[in-house]
Amino acid sequence: MDLLEYQAKELFREMGIPVLPSQRIDRPKDLKGLTIPYPVVLKSQVYIGGRGRVGGVKFVENTIDAIAAAQTIFNLPIMGEYPKMLLAEAKYDADREFYLAIALNRSLRRPVLLGSPQGGIDVQAAIDEMQHVIVEQDFSPYYARRLAIKMGLQGALIETVSGIVEKMYQLFVTHDLDLIEINPLGISATGEVMALDGKVTANDDSLARHPQLVALISKLGGSPPVPTELAPVTMDAQGEIGIICNGAGLTMATMDLVRQAGGKTACFLNIGGEARWDASPEWVQERLAKGLEIMSQQKNMRVILVNLISSLVPCDAIAEVIAAYLERRSLKPPASLLPPLPLRTEPLRPETVFSATNRGPALVVRLVGCQSDRARTQLAAAQLSLVESLDEAVTEAVSFVKAEPPEA
């Protein structure tokens, strides 16, 4: 979950990381009540970077110019995203600008401190100057000072910048963040330090443990960028297998196994993991019901492989959604309508593949979780049985699409 800049800076303020006086602007006329003295900078609040390059950041000297600039920014899409609010912030004259970040390296399973002596919109040009320090043990000020020294800082700047890094790390671990970034960290001619921009990415799976973070977002009138619309991701125009999973890792693993088995994934749909902060049994069931309908409408789809690992919702509740989907489609063809079986060492079990012929794609289902026996009974009544293992489910789906289509 990405936070907008104004939300990230609220966390910075709470942690003692210095930020400028600012005010959220929901509509251009709000600038008539601006409490920050001019000049100010107006910033588009979107989740996409590079705002300054395309006109999403403007400096203004008075109210008339501010209202005109705000109207322009509100109507400026950045990578297709329109801002719902702006951030008005005091102007700051920085003598130097640095880049600082802490990111979770999933390969190393450790936080990594990042820093560059050049920040701002040109930080990508200085990527060769980026320094990193892996936090290999319990964090201590040593790691922050080591990063500052590797950045080439000297004298008082070492203490100043390493102090900011320490606070960033405290924020990082307190809220289970995946990323915290300050770009740029401005340093004035007098040595004053200021976080001029900020980015925070929280781990979706940890939000349930941090109600204070959810409360902060709600208090500020924003909400996490949760996709309300389900949209399948197209993979292979020649593919005939659709995949529905709950979780990015499970989705990728399923696609990899389909490919290894010689199948082609036409598209996949991740209905979302259960550990989300806003997840509920009803939410999961609704997403699955919509996902099945959406995937059934995809062109050239011959089989849908449903692979769900459930803890929040028992398997029988998920099976109820699937059975209702089958009933809506009235998928009860006689065995004679099933496609001929392919040549294989082990026979394809027709009861594991629910065929709809020209009415829609077939269905292969694997569920992992509690109440699996009850789910098996429910689906059996709908002429479909659960597949025990993921390998077996993939084999059944791939074998189905490799079978010759039935003769007219």
Average pLDDT over residues 208-215: 80
Question: What's the pLDDT score for residue 228?
Answer: 47
391 or 299: which carries more pLDDT confidence?
A: 391
d(CA 234, CA 202): 27
Three-class DSSP category at 164: helix
Residue 19's pLDDT band (boundaries 50, 70, 90)?
very high
pLDDT tens digit sequence for 366-377: 999 888 899 999
Tokens of 355: 């065929």
Instruction: Compute the CA torsion angle 213, 219, 225, 227 (nearest 10 deg).
Output: 110
* pTM tops 0.75, yes or no: no
Using alpha carbons, select from 176, 177, 179, 182 the residue that is nearest to residue 12: 182
Smallest CA-to-CA distance from 196 within 1, 5, 4, 2 is with: 5
| Beta-ladder partners of 267 | 234, 242
DSSP states of 177-207 as a string? EEEEEEEEEEE-TTS-EEE--EEEEE-GGGG
Q: Give domain limits for the chain.
A: 21-90, 96-219, 233-402
Which of 291, 155, 272, 294 has the alpha carbon at shortest distance from 224?
272
Pairwise CA distance, residues 296 & 290, whole Å:
10
Of residues 328 and 336, the one with the higher pLDDT is: 328
Task: Say what the pLDDT of residue 333 is.
Answer: 45
Place of tokens 């320094």: 131
Instruction: Determine the topology of domain 233-402 in CATH.
Output: Rossmann fold (3.40.50)
Q: What local confidence, expressed as pLDDT, does residue 105 receive?
A: 86
Q: How confident is the model at residue 397 (pLDDT cuts 50, 70, 90)?
A: very high
pLDDT at position 299: 84
Phi first, then psi: what are they for 270, rounded to 5°? -95, 110
Superfamily of 21-90 according to CATH: ATP-grasp fold, A domain (3.30.1490.20)
Mean of the pLDDT values across residues 153-179?
94
- Please return the burial class of 99, using the count of CB atoms within 10 Å of its CB with bins 0-12, 13-18 and 19+: buried
With contact defined as beta carbons under 8 Å apart, do 187 and 95 qualify? yes
Q: Where are the alpha helices (DSSP H) in 75-210?
A: 141-150, 156-174
228 backbone φψ class: left, alpha, beta (φ>0; ψ -120 to 50): alpha
What superfamily in CATH does domain 96-219 come from?
Answer: ATP-grasp fold, B domain (3.30.470.20)
Q: Is the pLDDT of residue 275 over 90?
A: no
Tokens of 224: 């996490």
334-382 pLDDT per residue, tens: 333 334 433 333 434 444 555 544 467 899 999 998 888 999 999 988 8
Give residue 335's pLDDT: 36
Pairing state between β 265-270 and 241-245: parallel
Q: 366, exposed or middle or buried, with CB in 10 Å at 0-12, 13-18, 19+? A: buried
Give me the percent of the chain exceeding a pLDDT of 70.
Answer: 85
Report the chain's mean pLDDT, rounded to a whole number.
84
Task: Provide the 3-class DSSP secondary structure of residue 64.
Answer: helix
Quick one: pLDDT at residue 225?
47
Which residues have C-beta within 8 Å of that of residue 218, sequence separation ≥ 6?
Answer: none
Task: Tell me the C-alpha to C-alpha distance, in Å, between residue 106 and each of 45, 103, 110, 112, 270.
Answer: 28, 9, 7, 10, 21
**pLDDT at position 118, please?**
84
For the chain, percent of residues with pLDDT exceeding 90: 54
Q: What's the confidence (pLDDT) of residue 365? A: 95
Cα 244 from Cα 261, distance rounded (Å):
17
**Residue whose structure tokens are 């190393």:** 108
Asked if residue 124 has pLDDT above 60, the reply is: no
Task: Give the per-residue pLDDT at 174.
Answer: 92
Amino acid letter at 325?
Y
- The residue to which tokens 């963040």 are assigned: 177
How many other C-beta atoms are found inside a 10 Å radius of the C-beta of residue 188?
A: 13
pLDDT-wise least confident of 161-165, 242-246, 273-277, 387-391 = 273-277
Q: Which two tokens stand for residue 178?
A: 């995946």
**Which region among 21-25, 93-97, 252-256, 273-277 has the lowest average model confidence (pLDDT)?**
273-277
- Of the ranges 263-277, 326-340, 368-382, the best mean pLDDT one: 368-382
- Note the pLDDT of residue 39: 96
State the first-to-last Cα distance of the chain, in angstroms, to the nearest integer. Answer: 50
Residue-level pLDDT at 395: 94
Tell whether the model's pLDDT for residue 209 goes beyond 80: yes
